[in-house]
Structure formats: C-alpha cells, structure tokens
Structure 1
C-alpha cells in the first residue's frame, strides 16, 4: 500500500484511522498516496486553532504578521522543485500550467507580505476618519476593523491545490486569523506537502495553519459565530454550505466561489485579421488549454459579430489543431490531463449535453495522445463548439463543462452581445477585444454589474495585459449570482472578510489611544 498522508491539527501530525482514499497519477493511472481524516478529534482541532493559534497571531502587529508571510515565501521557494514534481504526478499538468498554480501562489503571498509591512506596527485598522456626533467635536465616532476572534476554514477545489490555499491564507494570516484547510481529495498531495514544509520550518505559531486531508464530513459542524468559511467548488455544494446551521443560525461568515460561464467578447470594430481579432483568438486558445481548461476563470463562451463567425471558427480551430495532448512529462506535450477519470467522464457528459444545441467546429476529443494510454489517461483534446442561434442555445448559457471546451456564439449588435454575456447569470470575468476605446469603456460599465472582473484587451496592451483567466492579487476575484457572490483578493480589500467592523464612540483623547494607524 502507498504512503498515507498525515493531517496536521492541534499542533501535531496525525494519521486517520481508516484505510484511506487513493490519489492517482491522472496520466499514467498509478496510485501515488492515500489520504484519510477518519477519527480525528475535530472539536479539539478547531479549538486549538481558534484559541492557541488565534491568540498568538493577534498578539503580533500587521508588520510582524507580514514578516511571517515573507518567511513562508522563502520556505516555498526553497522547495519549489518538489512541488512541480507533485503537480505533474497528481494534477497531470505540464510545467507552464504548474507554474500558474505554484509560482502564482508564491507571488500572491509575497504581495501580501509587502502590503502588510506597509500597514505598520498596529493591531487594528482605521476605517475612515472620526466624525463628531454633536454640534461640538467633543464626542466622536471612529470606525475601526479588528481581526475576527475565530478560525478560517477553507474547503478548496481540485484545480488549484497551491494557489487555492495561499491566495486565501495570505490575507487570513496577515489579518491575524488561523487557517484550517481542507483541500480537494483528488489533488490534496501538493497542499499537504506545502503545509508540511511550512510547519517543519517553524515559521508560524502553533495552531496558525492546519491541514485536514480526506473527507470534509463534520468540518462545518465545528464552526462558531466568529469563524469564517471560504468554499471554492460547485454551486450545489455552495448551496449546502449556505444552508448549514453554522451559517443559517450561528451567522458564520461565508465566501463562495462557484460555477462561472465566463465570456470573451469581440467588438464590432475588430474585423477578421485585425490585431484585436488575433488577440481574441490567441487568448481563447490559451484559456481553453491552460490546465486543460480546468480553471474557474476559463473562457466558456466566445461572442463575435455574426459576420466574423466563420473566420473566428477557422482561426481558433487552426490553432487548436496544433495542441499536443498527453503525458505532461513529455516535452512535446502542450496540454496534460484532467485531474481524474471521473473528471474526464464529467467533461464527456457535459459535451453530450451541449451538443444537443451546438455543433462541432473543432473536435479534439479523439485525437491521438502522446505517451499516454487513452484507456487509462484522463486526457481529452480541446473541443470548440458553435451555436448559430445564440439566443436559442440555452444550455450553452447554463452548463459549465470544466475542461478544454468552449462555444462560439454570433451576435447581431453590441447590445445583443452584452445581453448574451449577462445570460451567464453572474460570472467571475469577461474579456473585451477591440480598438474602439469609447465602445470598450461603455461595454465595460454595462458588463460590470454581472462580472467580478472586466478584462479589456486593446492592441496597445497586447504584451502588457495579465490575461483573461489569470487572477492577480491586486484585482478582485469573485463574481455575483451563479459565480457565488463572493469576493477574494483585490489588494487589502481581502482583509475585510477576516475583520470585524466596530464604531467606537468617545472623546478625541480616548480615540487617540486606540492604536490606529495615522489617517
């Protein structure tokens, strides 16, 4: 039997009492390790994190906690090569795709270390200026934010075992809130290894960071009123979390990132062959193939003027035809596998559903694999669908196929295109391509209400833009409606989730003693 990964709770490494769930290499089909959380003392684990870890973190200033993040960066950088090996084996990603997860995480932690250092040696944050409560300024109200006196539970998705942890943990730890992470079982190895390395390096106080690998059963039951929970995954599971007594009765704060049918929109001025047209084609192909399309921000719907439909189908299909798929260890392979055979089956089922209302424009689903057995590997080539009647193709606007699949949709005019983008019922991101700055600006404002991020690409930013699907710590990550209604990152805005706002009403002399940073 393969090794059983240990859980780290209550300040020590602990094995589950069960046989464990195996984790597999999705390209080769071999068993790698097992995970199990059976028999753990969950009440004790949460109590230790909440009381011991929380007290130690809150005793530090923001600048000191920023120093902890900087120390984490050094630990992860020192072990970076081993993380790439685990990602290749357990997630089936090629090196460039692993970098999105691993290096993206390290970059994000580093940013919060810098921002936290600038907050200074204080333990509470000023929220606006003091305002007088009467005619004379002798009695005033000062809003401030203080760390919540609870624990942050992260229930994460399988597609980003590194970044998914650290983009949440960085602002949580900087805020002074201890973290318990429950990674998705299928790819838990990388999360567990990173936590192990940080714990063994001794850079965090006891109880500040815990990891539970295996089933999530019972985790929500441990949450108390001042705890917070952040979930990334399906809308169905998100609904279960929202209805849990911890949320519904104990008012546990919840952040959810769920399904998202993101779109890319080519403006009417961007004719086939133009720079903006070519930028859209390049970005669509990249978003369909990075991490085999297993990104919550990937492009799922491509909106183009009706007159450009055939040209877009031909240009995107031609680039997709050159994408090699298979074993990520082979240097000629550009796109690796999905994370599991179960995910492969889910993609195939989703494709079948979409094909009832869309036609095949490029079919990579049966292409030959490089160094991989199609009977074993969880690999599928990129698939471009098309629906000439974008209004009637309801399933295209409802079903997210979490793999290398996108659908091309024609629109009549820009108002029609914006309406189609809104049909996603709330998305993490949309991207716009064109050169008409007035039209782009107006469309961006129209789309902002249903999208967490509007990414505008003009020819002058061709080499500078960060990418439709790349989530950067400076910008908001989240979206309304079916995208979950959550909000992460966005610079220091991320700290809001882990703080409690209060108004202190007192004389100016008393307010001066609150230890707040200067306004």
Structure 2
C-alpha cells in the first residue's frame, strides 16, 4: 500500500516519515476529520531511541549558551506563528481561540525561561575540608521520553521539551492521539528554528501508546520519562521500571479545592473561581473541582458566581464569542453526566446548567455542532458523600459546599488522595498564610485564577505526581548530580 506523505508526522533521526498506517484526527465540536497522522509502532519508537542515543554525546557537549540561542530562536518563531498555531490547536482540541492563543504565547515564554535556566544549571564548590576541595557537578540524565496530554497539547509539550533540551538531553515526544497535529507542528518548529542536530528532538504519533511506550520502557538506554496524564497511567509507568530504575516525572490527576473566606473580595473571587473552573471546559488538572464558601457570605456570593456562569457562551472554539468549547469525547461527557446525576440523587440542586448543550435554533450558530457539549453547570447543596466530591470530573461542573470555620475548610480541602492545586480567596494576611501553609497541594493560588507561570515550579503532592516542571526546580528533573571529593 502506498504511504500518504501528508501523514508524515514521525520525526526520527532528523527525517520526517509516514508510517505504514495512519489514523484520523477529528474536530471534537463537529466530529469532522481534520487531519490524518502516522500510526507508529514499537519499531519506529526504538529507531528514535537509537537516534537519541547517538545524538546524546554531542548534544551533551553543546554549550549552554548555544542551547539557549536555539531555544530563543524557537520562542521567536512560536510568537510569529501564534495565530496559526492557535487555530490548529482549536481544530483538534476544541478550546476557544483566545485560550489556545494564550497557551501558545505561554509556550513561547517557557522556551525563553528554559533557555536561561540551562545557563544557570551549574554545580558548586563545597567548603574546604581537611583532605581538599569538593565539587558538586550536574550533567544531563540522558535520552528522555516526553508523554504529553490532549488538554494542554502545546504548553505541556513545550515545558518538557524546552527543559530537556536546555539540560542537554535528547528527547522523544509522544503527543496524545487526540491532538497529534499541534504537537507535530511545534516539534517541527522547534527543530527547524533551533537548527537541532538529527536525533536531538524526535516525535512519535500513535494510537498504540501502550505498545510504543512499553518498548521504550523496556530499554535501559532510556534514562528519563516525563508524563502528564491520569494517575492510573502514571502509576503504571512507575511499575514499568522493573529491572532498572530511571528518573520519572509525573504530573497526574487533581481534585482542586477553592476556599472563599468571609473577608474575600466576593466579585473578584466569583470571577476567578469561574475562570479557574470553566477554562478549557473544565478539562484541566488544576481546574476548581470543589468550591468551599463560608456560610456567612454564601447568599451574597452565589448570585455573583451564577452571573459569571450565565455569561459563558458554548460553541465552536473558532467562532467569535465562544468561551466554552466541547469536551474532548463522549466518554468524558458520560462521566460528567454520571457525576451530576449522582449529586442530584444525593441531594444537590442544579443552580445552573445540568444538561447536554445543543445550539439554540435561530441564533446563527454554526451548524453541525454534534460534539460532546455540556452546559456550564453549578451544583449547590453539595456534600462530601457525592462522587463529584472524591473523583475528578474533568468537565464544566462546579459543586458548591458550605463551611463554618477555617479549620473545617482546610481539613475538607485536604481530604483527597490528590494534591496538585488549591485556591484561596481572602484578605486577612494571617488566615491566608495559615491556609497556604496547611494546604497539602503543590500549587496554591491566592486570589488568583491562573497560577501557572514559567518562573513557578509546577507539580503536585500525594497521588498528583512527583518532581516539578518550570521554575528553577524544573531543570533538575533532567540533570544528574555527581559528587567529587578531591585530595590534593
């Protein structure tokens, strides 16, 4: 069978290749096919690892300044093509264009940040001892595998790739099968703009992630894995290290609480809580999943929140005015409906939304919106017995809980196996600080809806992951530490 050159989405050893077979990529809003991508198998993955191992010695010896120059060139190219890249992302992910463009611009900032971090990834000389000086050296961990998710297919990919390259590690990218095209285009752009040598950056698209990743994990030459996705898959990657340890960074599920204290700026808190919940249709590991409101301000706060939710406009992400796109697939929609039905059965009230969304007739909406849309939904009267209180919904549903005192709010917020992000809204410095100190989450946002920045480390506690991406800590995940004791 002849190979379709338009499916050449495999970058292996500096060459773009098509696979023996391909898979379709669909627009989640319309279910229309928007592209086809190569469907790689273990053979292609191991060929990429061969190339990464061959490229590792020379990339390791490349100066930090050289790597930084290449990454900054890629950042400039990302910015120059931001609109085009955002449209590509919206077409296969469904998020509104303004969100997609914001993600692209954030990816450019991450490339710039990593460029500078690579120049600062130095060691140290220890205090002089009786026998002589000591040195602490840092060196690239080696060939890395970056497994990236569909919900933030640009920023998560770039965050891993940029730090790996800055540290001196060749990296193989495996984009999510739902969103392979934005990943492919970013890999192409970074490789070309940075004039990267063959094997330093490679990409494998596939619908067989278990086979492809399994083949790579079985090979001890792969020295690093960075994964963003579900907790179950992340734990399986840890188990797959049997026989040889490797560095593994995991950014997994979340169940983020938000606490609104009675001294909060209520309009600002309502706006921030809605933004942190409904961005990307709630399909974010740091989306607010449980909103705790102090009893004394609940009656004043709820109308402000409902006003914000009522202003959201579902639709195709490419259409002007859309602020809420579809869920990625109908499996996600089924989970949302199951959580809402369980909550209502256990006593919750639907204060807004609560149904599948279809375009209203006669309003000029784009025809053919047959994807997995769900109305932006608020549930009141939620309690801790409901499924939505213990499971990550990953959709546009916000349950609201009442609390009486600070200790109760923090205790209930921490009552989860997850520990990725938490939000605190209040004005009293002492009580806000106590909450920040006691919350068991890797990211705490105070009066802020968007706690993700290149200069801050990103990652969670408990079953939300290990190691960090971003910040001065991010590059540590791609470096080994060597102690040198010298007797002169």
- Same fold judged by TM-score > 0.5? yes
Q: Is it true that 1:242 corresponds to 2:227 in the alignment?
A: no
**Contact kept? 2:251, 2:466, Cα under 8 Å:** yes
1:66 and 1:113 in contact (8 A); partners too: yes
**Residues 504 and 2 of structure 1, relative CA distance in 2, 3 Å threshold:** closer
Choose from 181, 191, 207 the match for 2:183.
191
Q: Name the CA shift for 1:237/1:314 in 2 (closer, same or farther; >3 Å).
A: same
Q: CA deviation at 1:43?
A: 2.1
CA pair 229-433 structure 1, distance change in 2 beyond 3 A: same
| TM-score computed with the length of structure 1 as normaliser | 0.86
- Report the CA distance shift for 1:3/1:431 in structure 2 as closer, same or farther (over 3 A): same
Contact 1:8–1:212, Cα closer than 8 Å, also in 2: yes
1: CA distance between counterparts of 2:82 and 2:262?
A: 45
Change (3 A) 1:409 1:76: same
* Unaligned runs of at least 5 residues, structure 1: 271-275, 458-466, 509-519
Equivalent in the alignment of 1:162: 154
1:126 to 123, 130, 145: 123
- Match of residue 454 from structure 1: 444
**TM-superposition CA deviations, 1:229-252 (whole Å, max 9, x none):** 0111111111211111xx232101
| Distance in 2 of aligned mates of 1:3 and 1:494 | 35
SS in 2 for 1:451: coil
How far does residue 8 in structure 1 lie from its aligned partner after superposition?
0.7
Residues 67-106 of structure 1: matches in 2 within 5 Å? 67-106=69-108
The reply on whether 1:477 has 2:458 as its aligned counterpart is yes
- CA offset digits 1:138-181 (Å, max 9, x no partner): 42332221111x21101111111111111111111110001111
Equivalent residue number for residue 487 of structure 1? 468
Kept in 1: contact 2:153–2:179 (CA 8 A): yes
Q: Which moved further from structure 2: 138-147 or 358-367?
A: 358-367
Q: Secondary structure of 1:192's partner?
A: helix
Conservation of the 8 A alpha-carbon contact between 2:71 and 2:190: no
Alignment of 1:131-146 (within 5 A): 131-133=127-129, 136=130, 138-146=131-139
Call closer, same or farther: CA 1:34–1:347 in 2, change over 3 Å. farther
Alpha-carbon shift at residue 11 of structure 1 (Å): 2.3
SS of 2:199's equivalent in the other structure is coil
Give distance in 1, aligned partners of 2:473 and 2:90: 33
On the 8 A contact 2:123/2:136 being kept in 1, the answer is yes
Deviations 1:379-407 (A, max 9, x none): 2221111235x3x4253331111111121
Q: TM-score, normalised by structure 2?
A: 0.91
Give the drift of 1:375: 6.8
CA contact (8 A) 2:357 2:373 kept: no
Shift of 1:427: 2.2
Do residues 11 (structure 1) and 8 (structure 2) align? no
The SS at the match of 2:66 is: helix
**Deviation sequence 1:250-274 (CA, Å, 0-9, x none):** 101111111101111112333xxxx
CA drift at 1:366: 4.0
SS for the counterpart of 2:473 is helix
- The answer as to 2:223 corresponding to 1:227 is yes
SS in 2 for 1:248: coil
The separation in 1 between residues aligned to 2:9 and 2:481, in whole angstroms, is 37
Picking from 377, 390, 404, the partner of 1:412 is 404
- Shift >4 Å, 4+ stretches: 372-375
Residues 465-511 of structure 1 deviation map (CA, whole Å, 9 limit, x = unaligned): xx43441111121111121234211x221111111111100046xxx
Alignment of 1:384-423 (within 5 A): 384-388=378-382, 390=383, 392-423=384-415
Among 264, 268, 290, which residue is 1:301 paired with?
A: 290
The equivalent residue for 1:464 is none
Q: Residue in 1 aligned with 2:203?
A: 211
Deviation of 1:364 after TM superposition, in Å, equals: 5.1
How far, CA to CA, are the matches of 1:424 and 1:414 in structure 2? 17
Work out the number of aligned pairs and report it.
Answer: 475
Task: Compare 187-196 and 477-486 and name the one that shifted more.
Answer: 477-486
